[in-house]
Structure 1
């Protein structure tokens, strides 16, 4: 579903007088929460290391950083106020990742940051955008937004109704992802060739 279709679905299920900005803000909050809790997708960002440059932009929020490699060596997180084992990485106030020791030479693609993917923010200026959430579960955004709209209007029945539908879809997602395919057992034929 495109963002406009999600907005239309929400308005059809519960007519309201909230602005698109207000509803999209709720959709973004729900999508961010889902990526933080349910749809954890590992990804990576790679940077060129530059001589004498210790700080690089964070590709995700601090809590979504999984691992840091510098020239194929794993660096551990360290609070700079505590004693550290070298090498390590730390976070700066400017939403940057600092590496220590400071690089003494350039290295193409030498910094790899593994992190959980964060969804792109949806806006009223691009109602044709499609959320990054799995297409089969776009109704989570509809039901989640409807529950939050119910809170705005203090409509307990609506909150309960759409929260139950939202939770049902979360359970369905988890059930689908917990299913293990039943692959056939493959014989060890290597012994035959020896």
Structure 2
């Protein structure tokens, strides 16, 4: 029984993944999407071992557009429980994941579509107002949260694609490092 418990624990740890997506916009309010099979998605990928999320997002942006591309701040942080993924039975498939969505900046281009990577990747710019967020409801909410984060200048935190809290999270109250001691009012004795 203990062996099953350990194997279940280690199996769940190693099934966790960290992914990144990059929101790249144009000056005339269009968003860059890449074709992935039948779906259109933001440029993204998996964070490799030994790589931090920002470096992974930078790698994705550079592979998509230009070796000099960089990424800005985190717009969305989404914790997705493995059992909450669409189309998966309870206890099957991948474990939990954390998805980061970074600001990829603004391009000055009038191009509406292009093919990259030797003709293997099809890309297009979609007007932000027409942007449905694809067919995956969870991704659509994450992408909508990214637009909200851009407008408000904040980071949106999601859990399974839903807002993690109903409003702004207040700063924690200041705390004393040590409990008060009788007859001693501070380190310097004041």
TM-score (norm. length: structure 1): 0.23
More strand by percentage? 2
TM-score (norm. length: structure 2): 0.24
Larger Rg: 1
